[in-house]
Amino acid sequence: MTTVAYIANEFPSPVEPYVMDEIAELRRCGVNVVCCSGKRVAPNGLSLAERAYWKETRYFQPLTDDALMRAAGRLASDRRNLWRILRPLLLDGGGSPGLRIRALGHTLMGSAMAEELAPLNVQHIHAHHGYFASWMALVASRLLGIGFSFTLHGSDLLHRADLLTTKLEACSFCATISDFNRNYILRKYPTVPATKIIVQRLGVDRVLSWPTDASPNATDHRPFCLLAVGRLHRVKDYDFLIRACSALREQGLDFLCWIVGEGPERSALERQVRKLGLRGHVHLSGHVPRADLAAYYRYADLVAITSKSEGIPVVLMEAMSQQKLVLAPDITGIPELVEHQQTGFLYQRGSLPSFINAVNWIYANQSSLSGIRRAAAAKVATSYNRPRNLLAFAEQFLSRISPSGGEHAHSLLQQV
């Protein structure tokens, strides 16, 4: 049986269900998957399925004193690999001193990971996201003499590409979630072979929870409802959304805006809502279990994304699969999913007037946009079907790590 270690920065995570999905799919294909996480996760708030993964996951932060000593000993005893690992930390011109210090800590965590995986006959390590867990995977793979791969989404490629040249050169392959990302990697890192970079699309289940004619329209006597779903983090730029809501109120639009999610920016956003006098219009709903999100989607007239950086948000796929109108910035891979005025609407990144004009136009024309709603659902069903894309991921993954796998790439994923 093939044994693979799969690591994420924090696992399990309610906001990254695709990690559990990929692990489950590999197991359905007969792979023995060892679940790993860089940071220890508290079980509070996890679903039953997430708790089951939590119980089996191996955590590497914080390290015990004994684990730290053994990790340091393993590094010191392998001088050839130690230099290969430390060389980019010392010589890479793009890293700040703080980054280099953190990377040294992550190097020890990667060595501790190698210590723990050594008796398990692990043949390959996969890391989800290009953050520090991917550096741990690189370190562990070199110390164990096996291959590693990783998945890139959005900010881990465009804004926090820490030591990414070294990771791309060392990996067996790199999966990324959009054509935009793949083209960006090949342009930005021209020495990386094109055959290493594959497109692995995410997806959702296409399940409509209510009749398709039950969506509200302009004749309903209730406020127009905007919905945003995502972690309350600066990259999501909910400050932008709240400022847009203030402008919409000044223009006389009768609306509600629900922001569903939790995170470090909550206090700042609450202050902004109070300062702008938007308590009756903008509601921070906090964390909502994924199973309960359908009720929010059902009521929403428009699902909006205002992020500064994204891959291709699952939120958009979920909304579109349920025939909801969506509005998103014209960044990165989003236009691959949201085709302007065909499957949804795009606005100019960072432009309040562009966003506000789009909302007003959608509000005024919503009763005539049923064709866009249907086209959105069809787009998701065709290209972002979760079961089909997961099966394609597993087939591609196994073909890449098997000794005879070579370049037998799945047609849904490989684009060279």
User: For the residues of 24-40, what is the DSSP string, one character each?
Assistant: HHHHHTT-EEEEEEEE-
Range 3-15 average pLDDT:
95
pTM above 0.75, yes or no: yes
Whether residue 313 is predicted with pLDDT greater than 60 in this model: the reply is yes
Domain boundaries, the chain: 3-203+385-401, 212-383
Report pLDDT digits (tens) over 243-269: 999 999 999 999 999 999 999 999 999
Whether residue 22 is predicted with pLDDT greater than 80 in this model: the reply is yes
Specify the pLDDT at position 212. 43
The residue written with tokens 């708030």 in the block is 45
Q: What is the pLDDT confidence band of residue 83, given thresholds at 50, 70 and 90?
A: confident
Q: What is the pLDDT confidence band of residue 94, given thresholds at 50, 70 and 90?
A: low
Whether residue 414 is predicted with pLDDT greater than 90 in this model: the reply is no
289: left (phi over 0), alpha (psi -120 to 50) or beta: beta
Higher pLDDT, 103 or 211: 103
Whether residue 95 is predicted with pLDDT greater than 70 in this model: the reply is no
Sheet holding 282-286, edge to edge: 282-286, 255-260, 224-229, 302-304, 325-329, 345-347
Specify the pLDDT at position 9. 96
Q: How far is CA 64 from the centre of its chain?
A: 30
Whether residue 56 is predicted with pLDDT greater than 60 in this model: the reply is yes
Cα separation, 356 vs 247, whole angstroms? 8
Whether residue 66 is predicted with pLDDT greater than 70 in this model: the reply is yes
Whether residue 201 is predicted with pLDDT greater than 50 in this model: the reply is yes
Helix intervals (H) in 154-237: 155-158, 164-170, 179-188
Q: What is the pLDDT confidence band of residue 194, given thresholds at 50, 70 and 90?
A: very high
The answer to whether residues 170 and 143 touch, using CB atoms and an 8 Å cutoff, is: no
Range 123-148 average pLDDT:
97
How does the average pLDDT of the chain come out, rounded? 91
Which residue type, as a one-letter code, is found at position 255? F
Range 39-49 average pLDDT:
92
Range 207-231 average pLDDT:
66
Does domain 212-383 fall under CATH 3.40.309.10? My reply is: no
Specify the pLDDT at position 15. 86
The residue written with tokens 């079961």 in the block is 387
Range 348-356 average pLDDT:
97
Whether residue 115 is predicted with pLDDT greater than 70 in this model: the reply is yes
Whether residue 109 is predicted with pLDDT greater than 80 in this model: the reply is yes
Whether residue 79 is predicted with pLDDT greater than 50 in this model: the reply is yes
Cα separation, 154 vs 118, whole angstroms? 32
Torsion of CA 363, 366, 368, 370, to 10 degrees: 160
Cα separation, 94 vs 181, whole angstroms? 20
Q: What is the pLDDT confidence band of residue 291, given thresholds at 50, 70 and 90?
A: confident
* 3-203+385-401 homologous superfamily: Glycogen Phosphorylase B; (3.40.50.2000)
381: left (phi over 0), alpha (psi -120 to 50) or beta: alpha
Whether residue 213 is predicted with pLDDT greater than 50 in this model: the reply is no
Q: What is the pLDDT confidence band of residue 97, given thresholds at 50, 70 and 90?
A: confident
Range 5-12 average pLDDT:
97
The answer to whether residues 124 and 149 touch, using CB atoms and an 8 Å cutoff, is: yes
Per CATH, 3-203+385-401 and 212-383 having the same topology is answered yes
Q: What is the pLDDT confidence band of residue 218, given thresholds at 50, 70 and 90?
A: very low
% pLDDT > 90, the chain: 80
Q: How far is CA 266 from the centre of its chain?
A: 20
Cα separation, 278 vs 96, whole angstroms? 40
Identify the bridge partners of residue 225 per DSSP, sorted by sequence position.
256
- Buried-exposed string 212-250: b where 16+ CB fall within 10 A, e elsewhere: eeebbeeeeeeebbbbbbbbbbeebbbebbbbbbbebbe
Q: What is the pLDDT confidence band of residue 93, given thresholds at 50, 70 and 90?
A: low
Kindly give, in sequence order, each residue whose CB lies less than 8 Å from that of residue 399, ignoring residues fewer than 6 positions away. Answer: 405, 406, 408, 409, 410
% pLDDT > 70, the chain: 92
The answer to whether residues 163 and 134 touch, using CB atoms and an 8 Å cutoff, is: no
Cα separation, 85 vs 135, whole angstroms? 10
Specify the pLDDT at position 404. 45
